[in-house]
Structure 1
Amino acid sequence: MAFARLRGWGECPATRIYKKNRRIFPLRMGQGLEASFLGSSRLAQKMMKRPAGAGLCARHPRSEDTERRDALRYFEPVHFSRRLLMIHDLDLIVFDLDGTLVDSVPDLAAAANHALRRLGLPEHSAEEHKRMVGAGEKNFVQRFLGPDHQDLYHQALALYLEYYAQHLGDQTRLYPGVTETLTRLASVKKAVLSNKREDLAQEVVKVMGLAGFFQAVRGGNSYGVLKPGADGLRALIRELGSAPGRTFMVGDKPEDILAGRGAGAGTVALTCGYADLEALAAAKPDFLLDSFSQLTDLFGV
């Protein structure tokens, strides 16, 4: 059989995932190594369609379309025992903000469209804005202006920031289970690392009633580097007196996963945010979850 549930784990936090029928698949690597991947329900269904007996790196004649679809099934896994040890010794969880803790696209889109209207430019749909966010204010403004209007960047940035600062809590909402999950993770240090400007990130956390859960809320201007750069995460881990080997980075974008991997931390990707599954797969997260609430099963709380 190509995939099977892990058995005989003993008392480790991830046992609860098995007991709750959330499958963990061992993926055969070369030289007798085993690694595992916590699949979301959607990804698990895709993986179970894999031809019986096919090895992880097996190649079969297939069309280009099939090859592209198969990219969703194949992940280069890490040695899972190391990740289990990290869960046992967990000290710090660092969360992305937009698309991870909160759905902020309605307010981000409203601020962007306000700037576009004031400049006499066409507005974009919320879905279009959703694909543009996640790389800090500068990149977001450049993206919604488009290549033909970059000369209006400074005006657009000022208009966007002025509006967003006054309306950042109008339509932004917590994802389901966030408050309950953070409450159950009370024994673990928690922080936010966003590409959003620090003062704006802190205000969103405050308005959403989450400030009491976090030891630190940092933004894209806090350490002089944006994710996927890992230096900001490294600095935050040091600031909170932890270590990469005792830290997990949780986010919805490839940038979050790449920052976590670059810092030597464990990584959890959430499919309920703004990135598509294929992009998250390419970032090679240690774990892929469908909902924020599944973190309690993963971390055994």
Structure 2
Amino acid sequence: MKKLVIFDLDGTLLNTIADLGNACNYALRTLGFPEHALPTYRYMVGNGVRKLIERAVPDADEETVERLLSLFREYYGEHATDHTSPYEGIRDMLVKLHENGVALAVATNKYQAAVDRIIPHFFPDIPFVAVMGQVEDRPVKPDPSIVFAILNKYPTPKADVLYVGDSAVDMETARRACIESVGVTWGFRPVSELRGAYADHIVSATTEILSIAGMPQ
């Protein structure tokens, strides 16, 4: 049985796309840029908020990007939980993993201040051993530094670790960290992306994660 399962956040544990899109559209609207339909944000997120802004306004100069980032954070700080919710079966899966002695962690490209608000709001009773978001002194995924930071905080043999995410970024992060990967189909990216990123497993239900982790059904 696995000893540690590391989860991506957006598109894996939580459906955050509406709140992310609304925050970006607020920033765009405030500075007079065209807004984007919410479904299109599924293909803009995943590499951190700066990259989201750069994708939303590809021709923006650095000063404009900084202004948009500030507006995004201002809005998202107040509205991060308006429409966000856990995916079906997530809470039960986390509880079952914990009850069976599996440690839980979060590794996300969402900036740390937002993570620190969202995780306690939606999972107040889940004892994560590490909850790590994007910080200035650590490169974003798919650089594996965030995984190594979690393993430094909660030392675990890599053979006993599972990494769960919904995108090619996540699968590449796991591959670079040399840990087993699980791609989930309920997130923001298509199954073809997970296959193309060489996911070790692709699942469409949380119960399948329990099985891969070695949990008795």
TM-score grouping bracket, smaller chain normalisation:
over 0.9
Tell me, in whole angstroms, the C-alpha distance in 1 between the residues paired with 2:151 and 2:42: 29
SS in 1 for 2:28: helix
Over 3 Å counting, the alpha-carbon distance change for 1:223 and 1:235 in structure 2 is farther
What residue is the counterpart of 1:230 in the other structure?
144
Normalized against structure 2, the TM-score is what? 0.93
| Alignment-mate amino acid for residue 130 of structure 2 | A
The CA deviation at 1:185 is: 0.3
Instruction: Return the match for 1:102 from 4, 7, 14.
Output: 14
Q: Does 1:173 align with 2:75?
A: no
| Aligned match of 1:138 | 50
Larger relative contact order (CA 8 Å, sep ≥ 6): 2
- Residue pair 1:205, 1:211 contacting (<8 A) in 2 also: no
Aligned length: 213
Query: Amino acid of the residue matched to residue 55 of structure 2?
Result: R
For the Cα contact (< 8 Å) 1:92–1:188, is it kept in 2? yes
Root-mean-square deviation (Å): 1.6
Cα distance 1:182–1:240, how it changes in 2: closer, same or farther (>3 A)? same
CA contact (8 A) 2:167 2:183 kept: yes
Residue 161 of structure 1: aligned partner? 73
SS at match of 2:9: coil
2:185 is matched with 271
Larger radius of gyration: 1
Matched, 1:129 2:41: yes
Runs of 4+ that moved beyond 4 A: 148-151
Matched residue type, 1:120: G
**Structure-1 separation of matches of 2:136 and 2:60:** 31
Identity of aligned residues (%): 29
Deviation string, structure 1 residues 67-89 (Cα, Å, up to 9, x no partner): xxxxxxxxxxxxxxxxxxxxx3x
Tell me the secondary structure at the aligned position of residue 196 of structure 1. strand
Output the amino acid matched with 2:148.
R
SS at match of 2:33: coil
Bigger Cα displacement from structure 2, 195-204 vs 205-214: 205-214
Q: Superposition pairs for residues 1-301 of structure 1, below 5 Å?
A: 88=1, 90-147=2-59, 151-186=63-98, 187-210=101-124, 212-221=126-135, 224-299=138-213, 300-301=215-216
Give unpaired runs (5+ residues) of structure 1: 1-87
